[in-house]
Chains A and B, each alone.
Chain A
Amino acid sequence: MSALAHVPTPAGQPAAPPGVRRGRRRLLPYLLLLPGAAWLLVFFVLPLLQLAAASLYDPSGSLSTGYAMTGEVGNYWVALQAYWPQFARSFAYSAIALVLALLMGYPLAYAIAQKAGRWKNLLLVAVVAPMFTSFLVRTLAWKTILSDNGALVGLLRDVHLLGADGRLLATPFAVVLGLTYNFLPFLVLPLYASLERLDPRLLEAASDLYASPLRAFRRVTLPLSMPGLIAGTLLFFIPATGDYINAELLGTPNEYMIGNVIDSAFLVRLDYPQGAALSFLLMAAILAIVFVYLRRSGTEEVL
């Protein structure tokens, strides 16, 4: 290249100014970024800043009288003191749901990816199909299934797995079940994508090298499915922790999660500073957990 640059341009040929073309080419990636960046700016960054500001408003204000910006950091402390049980419950429920989803989802993803053969696409559709109906409708359907005079509760009472007045609906069980069910596809799909790329010959090699099936799983399958596992658990855990529909429809105020509190702060109690403070607390907690998790699972390159 540089050698060519020294060749004098033949006289009479208008040499294109080199800076212009190169400059345009360098700008192109930014031009391509522009629509997405603008969208994020208007619908993510600005509302986020607005929310951050709201979390610091004077809590004695109201929607009708307006809020004064007093930099009230105490909002966070008050919110945490009042609602730490809901915080704890959110993380506990979504953690239990995550474990249940992993127990069901990993074998399912593995079976679809490695063993399903010509049924693979059909099974994938079956995993995704519930998403074709709305989240609300699916959760309401569970309400019917778990209802006190439904067939399931009747059966469980008949076999004495439930007491005569035992119920499923409006219990922590129902909320965790709803979370597990609703977010399962978010776990299964990335896991499937990872496991689908797993070369079965590697398992043969492991077996040839004295690894029992269990050890081959531990040493080969699991590490190689790690990217999907991490993506899946995050895609499951983050929305499940902030969810409020499942607790709202399948639980009682005793099962309310932090999402329900935020919901009511904004829409019922109209306490914007507190709603905003709770939102930021939730976000900070999730970010902290995700950060530690990614560190611990040894995937620094993800961050």
Chain B
Amino acid sequence: MRTMGDETPAGDLRLANLTKRFGIFTAVDDLSLTIPQGSFFALLGASGCGKTTTLRMIAGLEEPTSGQVLLGDRDIAGLRPYKRPVNTVFQSYALFPHLDIHENVAFGLRRRGIRKVTDQVERMLALVQLEGYGRRKPAQLSGGQQQRVALARALINHPQVLLLDEPLGALDLKLRRQMQIELKRIQTEVGITFVHVTHDQEEAMTMADTVAVMNAGRIEQLGAPADIYEYPATAFVANFLGQSNLLAGEAAGHSGDDVAVTAHGARFSVPADRARTDQGTVFLGVRPEKLHLVSGPDEVPAGHQHVGGVVTDASYVGVSTQYLVRTAWGSELSAFAANSGAGGRLPVGAPVTAHWDPRHAFLLPRAAGEDDQTSPVLDEPPVGALS
């Protein structure tokens, strides 16, 4: 059955020094990474970061300027797309409008000369819960249904790697959540390597085993979603994946198991295993949900560190209340308080003390001259606001 895969051992997908330039613009810059067989891998980044170009190079729709795309031991970078054991779920679905659903799903099998397709197509339509839709045309289906047809059309070929290019981007929020769970279920069921490109951090975190955060053609950080979220490697990651309060400071090396930091005239410390650097200009980072607000310094628990300020904004978003606190030096910190029923809401103008457990803080390198950074409050409740 696996006509394309017979001659090569299935294996990990490896990108080696992959580079793509369009004129003077470098879309993908010397990218190297390994995606283990059977994993759900997410390439996360803002639009224009090179994630889709990377995906298209794996699919063969874009030719790399240099570098290798290895599947197992075989370099497939020179193969035409129709010769690769790789299939894609396109952002726009790209279903063939003149063919019915059955023929859309059977397309790949037929092109490889397989005559008896009905059973496989039926099974695949059942997998994506579209039994009985075979004779309809794509235009007669809703967005979510078309998305599932696109998935079935790719999966039926049993590719070694399935590429998903923002497949849920066109769906509304509720349907997107539903499809995220669905995709994850199907991936576990079929055990194919999924490479998922998205700009939606929540989507990446809920679905993927491993997330690579891309920025300007390079990978900023790669790891399990929780690891990246809890201990980001760069200021970009800290603010792209969730939100962060980043205080500009100077690190003064180790003192015991801690790294001492001076920021805005106050002294703080961060455990050494949560410091990406221990010298020079740094960002001291704390996630908004790890920042707790109390009315005065005497209420700060032992071992916690704190700064004082004034509440300048309180947004009630249902599950939590999101506060902005202006510090003595004029920066604003963002703090989320879960609406768990404990403690009242703080009014705007109230003097408060924001405190945190140093084990929840992290230290990142900072380019000299960069000032404090606080993510703006988003419309949607951010990831991890309650977790």
Residues of chain B from 29 to 72 with CB closer than 8 A to chain A in the complex: 59-61
Contact A205 B111 (CB under 8 A): no
> Chain A contacts of B83 at CB under 8 A?
210
> Chain B contacts of A204 at CB under 8 A?
61, 81, 90, 94
Say if the beta carbon of A121 comes within 8 Å of chain B: no
CB<8 Å pairs between A and B, sample of 7: A201-B90, A202-B97, A204-B90, A206-B107, A208-B60, A208-B154, A210-B108
Chain B: how many interface residues by the 8 Å CB criterion? 25
Say if the beta carbon of A209 comes within 8 Å of chain B: yes
1/0 contact trace for A5-19 toward B, CB 8 Å?
000000000000000
Contact A205 B82 (CB under 8 A): no
> Chain A contacts of B111 at CB under 8 A?
206, 209-211, 215, 219
Which residues from chain A sit less than 8 Å from chain B, CB to CB?
199, 201-202, 204-212, 215, 219-220, 223-224
Contact A208 B97 (CB under 8 A): no
In the bound complex, what is the Cα–Cα distance between A219 and B87 (angstroms)?
A: 18
Query: Could you say which of A209, A212, A220, A223 contacts B87, with CB atoms under 8 Å apart?
Result: A209
In the bound complex, what is the Cα–Cα distance between A209 and B89 (angstroms)?
A: 11
> Chain B contacts of A211 at CB under 8 A?
82, 107, 111
Contact B81 A207 (CB under 8 A): yes
> Chain A contacts of B87 at CB under 8 A?
208-209
In the bound complex, what is the Cα–Cα distance between A212 and B111 (angstroms)?
A: 8
Q: In angstroms, how far is the closest chain A Cβ from the Cβ of B120? A: 14
Which of the listed residues A199, A208, A215 has the most CB atoms from chain B within 10 Å of its own CB?
A208
Say if the beta carbon of B74 comes within 8 Å of chain A: no
In the bound complex, what is the Cα–Cα distance between A205 and B80 (angstroms)?
A: 13
Q: In angstroms, how far is the closest chain B Cβ from the Cβ of A145? A: 42
Given contacts A201-B90, A201-B92, contact A208 B98 (CB under 8 A): no
In the bound complex, what is the Cα–Cα distance between A115 and B88 (angstroms)?
A: 24
Contact B96 A208 (CB under 8 A): no
Given contacts A215-B111, A224-B97, A224-B98, contact A208 B92 (CB under 8 A): no
In the bound complex, what is the Cα–Cα distance between A210 and B88 (angstroms)?
A: 11
Residues of chain B from 1 to 48 with CB closer than 8 A to chain A in the complex: 4
Contact B94 A207 (CB under 8 A): no
Q: In angstroms, how far is the closest chain B Cβ from the Cβ of A240? A: 29
Say if the beta carbon of B153 comes within 8 Å of chain A: yes
Contact B90 A210 (CB under 8 A): no
Residue ID in chain A nearest B80 by CB atoms = A207
> Chain B contacts of A199 at CB under 8 A?
92, 94
> Chain A contacts of B60 at CB under 8 A?
207-208
> Chain A contacts of B4 at CB under 8 A?
210
